[in-house]
Amino acid sequence: MRAKAGLLALLMATFSFSGCMGEDELVAPPVVEVEEDVRIFVTDKTGASVDISPLQMTFQFSDVGETGKEPSIGITSSGCIFFIAMEKVMRSCDGGQTWEETQDPVQCSPTTSDPYGWVDPITDRVFNVQMIGLETSWICWSDDDGASWLGNPHDSGTTPINDHIKLASGPWTDSGYGALGQFTSSTVYETAVYYCYNKLAGIFCFTSLDGGATFELGGQIVGLATTNGGLHGAISTAPDGTVYVTPRVATPTVIVSKDNGFTWFERSMGEDVNTPNPRKNSEVSTDTASNAYHVWTGADEGVYMSRSTDSGETWEQESIRISPAGVISTVFPQTDAGDPGRIAITYLGSENSEMLNQSDIDGNPWDGNAHYAQNNVTYHLYITFSLNALDENPTFHTYRVTDDPVQVGSICLNSGDCRDIGGSNRNLLDFNDLHIDRQGRVYVAFADGCTGECATNPNATASDSRDGRGSVYYLANGPSLYLAEGALQPLFEPNQAGNETV
């Protein structure tokens, strides 16, 4: 069950909504005692609570109905939501009330070992990227909300491994690859499409001139990206054409291109908080003025941020804490931004993990890393908004949107060496996703590891929490990340659907 009585108690006196099996039910006014456990935090840049009223928000839950490990989410201008994970592309064009599979088994590979999806926010092209073995990927795309598809394989060569595949798109610049020839709409796709993956030698990134059909330009990125096996996070792009890739290295770092991937440079930040081992994915979001926000998990397991107001040239060196101080272990931070200073972040977090007296995977002193947490630790999904993230003293409004845990027990983040606590704790794999639509509405895709009896049993253990159910939360009521859109209203009346509002 994914309804949160506590949030409803704070935000609504009474509310008619549907139960998890699609049956209409009338929720009575919650008792006062429930309000005491409402998990809403308003914090400053250190994670400390501040005496400011929380943003009034509710979130809609949707069960995708399929395995959702390592999900990607994107929304076209028509309002269709695309959820891509494992072998399937799932689509909902009714606000998550129903989902259907939409994929061409001829144009798109039917199998994968590492999926990724992307919706171009400028052209609405939907991309489905599938990894075939360790040397080849299959990239397919749709320009009609998934009704039809085209696709091509991409051969990564003979040097293993082709892994951590990522794709994104963004505006052309007037230098580097963007300056090749006299571009016209008839010869070059409207946006630059980027495709990155890692091999043992490092990160390889390519730029497509034809909208993702072929990737002839690019190669290995030189520098810090060649360390740690070339593992990296998502590709991010800014309105001014700047491109960001985040390598998984000990000091938080971003790799930046201002010429559509022709050249790259590195910038580091966050030495005051660093990252834990095994190091985790981080992500950059950019707003409409091309300000950049780099979000990562610090060595103390909190979520931190550094900002750049000059398109990645310089970054703040004093890290800003996004997660509340009481959320003491986090994984999978993802972010997106709208207008300047208006950003959203999601992550899985725990308020009850305990440090154990043992060493981590690299033989270092125990630092509270999520993958070694106790058997009864619980992780929930958190969504954070800031409407003044560029201020000297920004404020962060965080909602814990799940009532039952997303995971009971540990979350292993190191695929090559996972400690088995109560069953295979690698079930959530490497990342979740967050994106906004054209109205600035926030959508979060995640894999739910605690379903069925695990979700209803207060004594569930780690061995009960090994699922990876595809799930979505999106903003129902609350502030758009685009200032002009104001306060957003629900996409549909909650009593029309079988999914729940929190």
Least confident window among 224-228, 229-233, 330-334, 377-381 = 224-228
pLDDT at residue 499, as a whole number: 63
The residue-averaged pLDDT of 334-355 equals: 91
Q: What is the pLDDT of residues 469-487, one digit of tens each?
A: 999 999 999 999 999 999 9
Which of 3.40.50.300, 2.60.40.10, 2.130.10.10, 3.40.710.10 is the CATH number of 40-496? 2.130.10.10
Name the helix (H) or strand (E) containing 500: none
The residue-averaged pLDDT of 418-435 equals: 79
Least confident window among 164-168, 208-212, 377-381, 418-422 = 418-422
The residue among 500 and 367 whose pLDDT is bigger is 500
The residue-averaged pLDDT of 300-324 equals: 97
pLDDT at residue 148, as a whole number: 95
The residue-averaged pLDDT of 403-425 equals: 75
DSSP string for residues in 95-140: TTS--EE---TTTS-S--SS-EEEE-TTT--EEEEEEETTTEEEEE
In a 10 Å sphere around its CB, with 0-12 CB exposed, 13-18 middle and 19+ buried, how is residue 126 labelled?
Answer: buried
What CA–CA distance (Å, rounded) separates 358 from 191? 50
What CA–CA distance (Å, rounded) separates 460 from 453? 8
* pLDDT tops 50 at residue 32: no
The residue-averaged pLDDT of 304-313 equals: 98
Least confident window among 193-202, 256-265, 384-393, 450-459 = 193-202
Q: What is the pLDDT of residues 87-138, one digit of tens each?
A: 789 999 999 999 999 988 888 876 666 789 999 999 999 999 987 766 678 8
The residue among 38 and 380 whose pLDDT is bigger is 380
In a 10 Å sphere around its CB, with 0-12 CB exposed, 13-18 middle and 19+ buried, how is residue 147 labelled?
Answer: exposed
pLDDT at residue 355, as a whole number: 43
| Nearest C-alpha neighbor of 58 from the set 71, 43, 82, 40 | 40
pLDDT at residue 5, as a whole number: 33
The residue-averaged pLDDT of 153-163 equals: 64
Q: What are phi and psi of 339, to 5 degrees?
A: -75, 165
pLDDT at residue 404, as a whole number: 95
Confidence of residue 159 (pLDDT cuts 50, 70, 90): low
What CA–CA distance (Å, rounded) separates 53 from 222? 47
Kindly provide the residue ranges of all beta strands, DSSP E only, lying in 248-376, ordered along the sequence: 253-257, 265-268, 283-286, 292-297, 303-308, 320-321, 329-337, 343-350
* pLDDT tops 90 at residue 231: no
Determine what percent of the chain is predicted with pLDDT higher than 90.
62
pLDDT at residue 266, as a whole number: 93
Q: What is the pLDDT of residues 268-280, one digit of tens each?
A: 999 999 998 767 7
Q: What is the pLDDT of the chain when averaged over all its residues?
A: 84
pLDDT at residue 249, as a whole number: 85
pLDDT at residue 106, as a whole number: 81
pTM of structure? 0.89
pLDDT at residue 361, as a whole number: 37
* pLDDT tops 90 at residue 443: yes
The residue-averaged pLDDT of 308-335 equals: 96
The residue-averaged pLDDT of 440-446 equals: 98
**Joined tokens for residue 34:** 């429930």
What CA–CA distance (Å, rounded) separates 468 from 27? 29
